[in-house]
Structure 1
């Protein structure tokens, strides 16, 4: 689950596993696998970062770092 902010500045927790796509046109819209769309204040990159952090937290994928040696 991640937290986003609705247009009326109300925080909302959403299930990141149900996100189908995130669009920025320039406003950010999140479309869920259910077909519902949510208009949020966060930027597309901010939502992507939150989803990525959530996926790492629950073990869906791990962060990989390459050595610069």
Structure 2
């Protein structure tokens, strides 16, 4: 799951496993495998980085938490070596 903000700044959590595409039109649109489309404030690169951070944590077998939420757990921006 990744946290993003709708255009009205409301924070939502999206299942990263269901993301099919992310595109800028110029607003960023996340399209899910269900066909649902979500407009978000984050740019394409930021959404991609959130998904990468999430998947790295899953690959390491660590519970995922956003920075500042749960100390000692994997989150965005941390130095993560998947091969470790």
Q: TM-score interval w.r.t. the shorter chain?
A: 0.7 to 0.9
Give the alignment's TM-score, normalised by structure 1.
0.85
The alignment of Structure 1 onto Structure 2 pairs a total of residues equal to 63
Q: Does 1:5 align with 2:2?
A: no
**Segments ≥4 residues shifted beyond 4 Å:** none
Alpha-carbon distance in 1 for matches of 2:27, 2:8: 14
Unmatched 5+ residue regions in structure 1? 65-69
SS of residue paired to 2:13: strand
RMSD of equivalent CA atoms: 1.6
Q: Which has the higher contact order (CA 8 A, sep 6+)?
A: 1
- Whether contact under 8 Å (2:2, 2:54) holds in the other structure is yes
Q: CA deviation at 1:38?
A: 0.1
Structure with the higher fraction of residues in strand conformation: 1
1:1-69 alignment to 2 at 5 Å? 1-59=1-59, 63=82
